[in-house]
Structure 1
Amino acid sequence: MAEESEELYAAAQVLLDPETGSFTSEVSELLEYVGSALLVMDRVTLEPRWRGHGLASVLASEAIHRLMVGCRAVACSPGITDLGGRHPMDRSEWDRVNAKIAKGWERIGFRLYRDNTYLLSPTSQDLEEQRGVLRGQLVELGSAWRRASSTLP
């Protein structure tokens, strides 16, 4: 699994019992039983010009909603995975950007579990409430974009 994705491997190490492949008893106690699958949000990538507008949270929320059927948990390890050709960052900038990414995942309802592995229960009321809020923000963003586009020569 490590050769597929370091993030996927790290999440598995924290959440799954290596002998059984099932959730650890500690993780099982945190989650309502609604399925047995684990959905790992390994990467969410936006083109640079679309970043910073709140799109990642709303798109991730919609993807989770469509993919979570049969899942007992959704996991992620928020942070920068690809600089996309950008210049190297100093440590304070790296930490600032990673904190901003984590905050976006928390908006959806993810909570830090352990070792930068965040968990979300598909039964979380936060997930459904935030989905509605994020959809509203997407509508506002689309309206603002249309207004700005209509004023261009």
Structure 2
Amino acid sequence: MEEESEELYATAQVLLDAQTGSFTSEVSELLDYVGSTLLVMDRVTVNPQWRGHGLASVLASEAIHRLMAGCRAVACSPGISDLGGPHPMDRSEWDRVTAKITRGWERIGFRLYRDGVYLLSPTSQELEEQRGVLRGQLVELGASWRRATSAPPP
């Protein structure tokens, strides 16, 4: 797995028993048994012009909902993955953006487990509640965008 993705490998090391490939007993105790697989949200990419509107959270929520059948857990490691951007960040900007991304994941219902790995149970009521809230915000964002793009120029 390490050859595929260093980030996925690090997540697996935190959550899975190296001998069995199953969840560690500690992780198992945290989760309802509703399946046996692990869904890892490795990346959510939003074009720069659409960032800052909460789209990553709503898109991640929808993706999780569609992919979580048979999953016992959903995991992520919030942070910036687009290191090749045109404007290098200083440490304070990096920390600010990472904190904002983390808040978006927490909003869906992810909680810090250990070593930067966040877990979400597919049975979480918060996941379903936030999905409804996020869908409402997406509708509002779409309506706002339509108004802005259809308004006659001044």
TM-score tier by shorter-chain length is: over 0.9
RMSD over aligned Cα atoms: 0.9
Name the aligned partner's letter for residue 55 of structure 2.
L
> How much has 1:82 moved relative to structure 2?
1.1
> How much has 1:3 moved relative to structure 2?
1.9
1:150 alignment counterpart:
150
C-alpha distance in structure 1 between counterparts of 2:52 and 2:128, whole Å? 23
User: Where does structure 1 lack aligned partners over 5 or more consecutive residues?
Assistant: none
2:70 alignment counterpart:
70
C-alpha distance in structure 1 between counterparts of 2:50 and 2:83, whole Å? 15
Q: Is the aligned partner of 1:7 residue 2:7?
A: yes
For 1:107-128, what per-residue CA distance to the aligned partner results, in whole angstroms no more than 9, with x for missing partners? 1000000011000000000000
Query: Percent identity over the alignment?
Result: 85
Name the aligned partner's letter for residue 117 of structure 1.
V
C-alpha distance in structure 2 between counterparts of 1:66 and 1:25, whole Å? 27
TM-score by length of 2: 0.97
> How much has 1:84 moved relative to structure 2?
4.2
TM-score by length of 1: 0.97
1:90 alignment counterpart:
90
C-alpha distance in structure 1 between counterparts of 2:4 and 2:146, whole Å? 40
C-alpha distance in structure 1 between counterparts of 2:137 and 2:71, whole Å? 27
Name the aligned partner's letter for residue 129 of structure 1.
E
C-alpha distance in structure 2 between counterparts of 1:100 and 1:80, whole Å? 10
C-alpha distance in structure 2 between counterparts of 1:136 and 1:101, whole Å? 20
User: Where does structure 2 lack aligned partners over 5 or more consecutive residues?
Assistant: none
Q: Is the aligned partner of 1:30 residue 2:30?
A: yes
C-alpha distance in structure 2 between counterparts of 1:67 and 1:119, whole Å? 15
C-alpha distance in structure 1 between counterparts of 2:106 and 2:152, whole Å? 36
